[in-house]
Structures are given as structure tokens and as C-alpha cells.
A and B are shown apart, each in its own frame.
Chain A
Amino acid sequence: MSDRAPVRPSDEELRASLAHRVDRAMRGADAPSRDRSLLADSIRQRVTRTPQSPAWRLRWERPGRLGAAAAVALSVIVIAAAAALPHLAPVGGPRVVPSFAGGTTRGAPETRPGVDPGDVQVLTGGDLERLLYTGDPFPVGRVVVAAVGIDSAAVDLPCRPAEPCPVGVLTGTSRVIDVVAQPDARVAPADGPVALSLVDPTTVEYLGPVVASDGDLVWDWDRLRGRTRGGTGDPPLPGNVVIADGWLVGVGDANPGCPASPPDEPTMRPDLPFHACPPGPWLTEMPEQPVSMTPDTVTITHPTGGLQVQRDAYARFAPGASRDEAGLDVPRYGRYLLRVVAGSGRGWQMLGRLDPIVVPPDAPTPMTPAGSLEPSLAPAAADRPLTGTTLPVPLDSDLPPGRTAQVVSNAYRHLVLSDLGRQVEQHLLVPARLSAEGETGTLWWHDYTTGEQILVTLDLSRPATPIVATEYPTSNTTGLSAWETQRVHAAAVADARVTRVLGSEIAVADATVVRCPVDPGFCASAVIRPRPPAGGGHASAPPPRVVVVDLASLQVVESQE
């Protein structure tokens, strides 16, 4: 951190900025949503369906050591009602007798959706490279397991406290992929795979070495439990990462008095002078529901052999995290990455969910010559894989002298057709023309399906331009970087949803802090700016329109002039 104190806004500036922030957010709302009475109506409807919880007074029962097996399995908090509330029906959720054995609890889901019990997907450096550069949409925040090396001698940069620190670059990749890690992480040479989080198209975050259990990357629960009890075998060391399939179970609202913030924060309820945080959430082998309620008690039982993880793990990583009407978290099954944060597996941090990830194809196939603009050469998008290669600049190139350029031979345009709900249509695009004026280039894409042209403005002033392939890495699929691919899609989607003015250009605005309604989300913003009238003239051009496109759902989420 810099020694020099940052310049602080004055009180008045801060007030004005906050007020402006509120005004801007409220201006963006449509008229009905500005009517707070509708919000109150909606709350009333929810309240009508929602029973009140018992008025509890906390009584802690800390179990003694009940033997080796039970001691790990058992941690019970009994919250007894301050007064009996016989008029209240039992509050939702499973009606269970607290179980020290911790078997499957009635009321919890039994199915195990979405996880392939087969091998763990271990990416190679090449896989990772293609994923990073051509992932579509870019899988920000996803965690992966990869067999890659890290050259830590490649960086010598100071680290800022509390920020990810550059620790090296990946080895075995043709492009430079930076590796960052949390300041307290120790990046040690690993014989096996490592866990990584995808940060942006040129950066991954190192999470730790992935350790196997007797050669199996997915830990068997018996071994996991045995080792967490300090049983046979070497327990995973702090900093190591393990993979486990299981149910992520939380306690939902059944945590009176428990702050989500650190212990030095105020208690959640002013009438409780202390923190009363029940444990959890946990990763468990069986779909247990740790919370049970009666009209006058709420009981939270530490699931048998469950691995307690950090408090926000359920909200962050459970697939389809949700609460039922009683405010209890619904157990969710998945394959999760866990890091040991205390010796002998007594403390665990959940790093993420290890979902299958689609790696773009390796070898490009020969392309349709860009100059061939026969519509018959464009088969239905669904019949044709996303393949591509780079080609010499096609038609009408007027690049500055001395420059060479390669452009995508084809790409796809995803359209969200408003009159067909959320249906997405995929159109093949072929570059039709590249022009340059000064250091700015414009690439015309031809949409075979609709006959429309899409324009993308390019910066030719740097080697890192998307159309110069020699120094800037390009996608096998589109010839563009992952980011550029997103831009094309953004432009295409914007084009589909915003009244299009022929001759308008689509330029990409600063992409910082755009809102994505999906997780992992990725959005792009674009400015659609009509060209000045041909031949000069004094007629003023229509104002530019800014759109923000959610590239996961391919929808325009904001559009304003």
C-alpha cells in the first residue's frame, strides 16, 4: 500500500455522491417499481404465507465427549422457547427428533443431480489456455483442477496487502497466463494437479495443490472422515485441497443472534448481548437437514461426519441455493473443492463447486474462404461446430501500410428474439470487409441468415489488437480473444434488441462493473453511436445508446441513451 494518504472526498462531496447514487438507481426503475405501495403489497402477500418463529431464549447444551465416534458427530444446540406458543403451528421444515446418529433426515431431498461420479476433469495447460482465451461466455470465478506448473521466478512484483498477489505464470502454455494468489498463500511446487480459479482471460488464481486419497482425487467419505479424525494415513496438510462429493447443508434463518459478520461486529439482535452462533454450514455425505423445529424448540444438530465450512459457503456455492418457506436452506448436492485450513482436517474452507466445464476444441478445421459469400456455404448453426481459423484479411482491406492482419473466418451471432421469449437464435457470421482510418479499423460482419451487417470498431494502434494475430493471442474459434468474442456477441445482442440504425457503429465501452444476473456471470457494455451524417451537414446525429448485455443469458439488461 502506498505510504501517501489517499485524497479523501469532503463530507459534502460524499453526501452529494451518495444522494446521486440513490437518485440514479431510482431513476433507472420503471414507474411501477417506483411505487412503494406495490412493494408493501408484495410484502403483505409474503407475510400472509409466513408463520412467525417462536420467541426463543438460548440455552446451550455442550455435549461431553461421548466416545470417539459420537464426539465428532455431535454438537447440539437446543434453543428453547421463552414461552410456549401453543397457537403456533410447527414452523415448516422437517419434523425430526434430533439425531445423534445423524442418518438421513426425513424431508431432505434424496436425489443427487448433476454430478458425474466418474473421474475428475483435470485440465491440461492447453485446455486451460483454450478455456481462458475462447471460453464463451468467459467462465469468471469458476474453479478448475489443472495439471500445470507455475514458474514463480517469472514475476517480481510487490504485493499489496489484502489483494491477490502475482506469484508467477503458468508453464507449458503458449500464451502468458498470470497466476495470482492470496497474500497468505504459499505456492509450493506440486507433483499433482492444482486448484485454480479463473479470474480473467489472462489470469488465474492459485488455490492450492489438490491431494488424492489412495490415488483417487475424489475422497471417499470413510477416508475423509477417518482422516479428519486423525485416523490412518496422512491427513491433508493445511493449504492442501481435496475434492469431495456431498450435500451442502446450511441452517438458514435458524440462527438467532448469529451475525454473518466477524465476532467483533455487533450481535444481530439488540436484545442479545452475546453472539450465539450455531455451527454450520456443512458438507455431508447424506442429505441431512441439521435444523428441526417445533412450536417451542429449534434444534440444530451437527451432521454426522459433516465437514463444517465457512458461514457463507451455502449462499456462494450450493447449486440453486434456496430457502424453503420456513427459512431453512435446502440441501444441495455437488462436487466441491475444500481447502484444509487447520491441522488434521479440523477446519475447512470451501473454495467452490467443481462443475463440468466445456473446453473449446483443440484443432481448428479449414475454413470457408472469407471471400466466398455464398449463402449456401452457411449451414444451420446447430449442424456445425464452432470451428475456425485465421485467414488473410478478406475484402476491401485498406490497412495502413506495413501492417498485416488476420481476422476471424467465422463466428456466431446469438440473437435473443424478444417476440419469442428467451429463445436464442444462432447465426453464422462471416467477415465481409475491413476498413481502416488512421488507427481505427472497422470490421463488417455479414450475417447470412438475416443479411444484416454488424460493425465492430477496432483499435489498430497496438499489437494487442484483435485483428493482428502475430502478437496478440487469438481464439481458435473466432480469431478474436475471448474478450473480443464477447464484444462481438454484445454487439450482436445489442443489435437484436435495440432499434438499429443503418450505418451506426457499435463500439465497446468500458466494461467495468456491469451487472450480471447469473453466477458465474459475464456482461459487456456497448455504445451504439450513429455515424455523423454523410457529407458533413448540420443535422445532429441521434444520441448514442449504451447497452449492457448479460452474455450468459444473452439479454440486454440495461439500455439507456
Chain B
Amino acid sequence: MERSLIERSRRGDRDAFDLLVRRKVDAVYRTAVSILGHDADAQDATQEAFVAAWRRLPALRDPDRFDAWLGRILVNECRMMLRRRRRVREIRPAFLRAGADGSEATDEARVDERRDGAPPLADAQADADAFARAFERLTIDQRALLVSHYLEDRSLAEIAERLGIPTGTVKSRLHAARRALAIALEREAR
């Protein structure tokens, strides 16, 4: 059934493509939002990915690889989205960087001080914020790998198939992505 929709879409059948979109849109959006972390960006990336897929569909030779192909287009659109907007920027005011004696102090601590006795953010919220910031330090490809494996529960073999690379390469890149995330989390914790 799905193969039929893909083949009809390749021949320019917009209705078939619409059905295909409705089947896939939720999963594609979910992948996008997990990579980008923002609803509006994820919707934009999802839309751009499907439109690009429609435009390039005649070039897809193997309909059985549609999902992998679409996934790669989506990751590329996520990358484009960040490059175009380039809007996540970490700004640390100077007065939060150093104490009166010149010693370093964590931003969180300074902010908490500035709240004039307000209770600090809940740990869970702070952890989630720290994770979000650390995750956004990763490259799009690293994010996509982690999302594929840990959120979408794809096996290394599936990811290798999707990316068209050896399983061993997936494994080493996943290792590198996890290490990069750990380093980023460590930086956030300082």
C-alpha cells in the first residue's frame, strides 16, 4: 500500500503524496521537534522536508528506502533551519561571571542570589534546562543519531541502513555523540 503511494507520488500524483504525508507527518514532526526542541521550528522543518521530498521524488529509485531518504532530508532541513535563524545564543553577563574577589561563580548561583531570596528553580526544571542547552551544543547529525537510537529506539543496524553507512561507523559516531553530550552537560553544570 505504502509502496504504491510512493510510486504514484513519484509519477506526480499529489493526492497520493497527501495520503503519504498524513501517514508520516506525526513521526517526522516528532523527530524534528526532538532535534530542534521548538515546536514552530519543527513544524517549519517538517513542512520543508515534505516539500523538498515531493520536489525530488522522481529521483528516488528505490521506494523501499523512502523512510531513510525522507529522514535524511529532514535532518538536512533541521540543519538549514538552525543556520538560517542562528538564534540560539548564550549570553553571560559579565557581572555574573566573576565575584567581587574575582572568583568564578556559577551563573545559576548568581541568578539565584539576584532573585532576592526566591527559591531556586526546581531541580527537575533546572536539569531539563541544562539538558536542553547541552543538547543544543551538539551538531545536528549528533542530535539526529541520539534521537534515532534513544528516542525512536532504532537499532544500530536500522540506523546504518537509514544512513547508508556501516554499523561500525554508526557505533563510533554514537559513541562520539554521547561523549560530546557528556562534555556539554559537564560544562552546563559548571
Contacts and interface: CB of A to CB of B under 8 A. Distances in A.
Interface of A: 1, 5-9, 11, 14-15, 17-22, 24-26, 28-29, 33, 36-37, 39-40, 42-44, 46-48, 50-56, 85, 87, 138, 140-141, 200-202, 253, 256, 259-261, 265-271, 312, 315-316, 321, 327, 439-440, 457, 459, 461-466, 472, 481, 483-484, 505, 507-519, 521-523, 527, 529, 544
Contacts of B183: 1, 6
Contacts of B57: 52
Contacts of B132: 21, 24, 513
A44 B33 contact: no
B43 A321 contact: no
Contacts of B55: 50-53, 253, 327
Contacts of A36: 25-26, 29
A43 B47 contact: yes
B59 A316 contact: no
Given A24-B128, A253-B52, A312-B83, A37 B22 contact: yes
B95 A465 contact: yes
6 contacts: A7-B186, A253-B56, A266-B72, A269-B59, A439-B113, A509-B111
B123 interface: no
B51 A260 contact: no
B14 interface: yes
A515 B87 contact: yes
A21 B38 contact: no
B58 A55 contact: yes
Contacts of B1: none
Interface string B122-166: 000001110111011000010000110011000000000001110
Contacts, number: 262
Residue among B40, B46, B50, B59 with max Cβ neighbours from chain A (10 Å): B59
Contacts of B131: 17, 20-21
Given A52-B58, A53-B59, A40 B38 contact: no
Contacts of B30: 22
A40 B21 contact: yes
Given A17-B128, A52-B12, A517-B85, A25 B43 contact: no
A43 B25 contact: yes
A47 B93 contact: no
A268 B165 CA distance: 12
A85 B58 CA distance: 10
B24 to A, nearest CB: 9
Contact of B114 (A50, A253, A316, A508): A508
A266 B163 contact: yes
B30 to A, nearest CB: 6
A8 B179 contact: yes
Residue among B68, B80, B90, B150 with max Cβ neighbours from chain A (10 Å): B150
Contacts of B113: 439, 459, 461
Interface in B162-182: 163-165, 178-179, 181-182
B116 A48 contact: no
- The secondary structure that dominates the B interface is helix
Interface residues of B, number: 89
A510 B113 CA distance: 11
B61 A271 contact: yes
B39 interface: yes
A147 to B, nearest CB: 24
Interface in B62-120: 62, 65, 68-69, 72-73, 76, 79-80, 83-95, 98-100, 107-108, 110-111, 113-116, 118
Contacts of A483: 91, 93-95
A403 to B, nearest CB: 12
A511 B92 contact: yes
Contacts of A327: 52, 55
Nearest to A262: B141
Contact of B100 (A20, A47, A51, A461): A461
B185 interface: yes
A469 B57 CA distance: 63
A40 B22 CA distance: 6
A42 B47 contact: yes
A51 B115 CA distance: 56
B83 A14 contact: no
A17 B99 CA distance: 32
A29 B25 contact: no
Contacts of A11: 150
B72 A268 contact: yes
Contact of A256 (B56, B87, B150): B56
Nearest to A29: B39
The 6 closest A-B pairs by CB, nearest first: A55-B58, A29-B39, A464-B95, A6-B182, A483-B93, A271-B61
Contacts of A17: 127-128, 131, 135
Contacts of B147: 18
Given A37-B22, A513-B88, A440 B116 contact: yes
Contacts of B51: 43, 46-47, 50
B135 A21 contact: yes
Given A46-B51, A271-B62, A472-B95, 20 more contacts: A15-B150, A18-B146, A21-B34, A33-B40, A43-B46, A43-B51, A46-B47, A46-B50, A47-B17, A52-B56, A53-B55, A140-B89, A260-B80, A267-B164, A464-B94, A483-B95, A513-B129, A514-B91, A517-B85, A529-B118
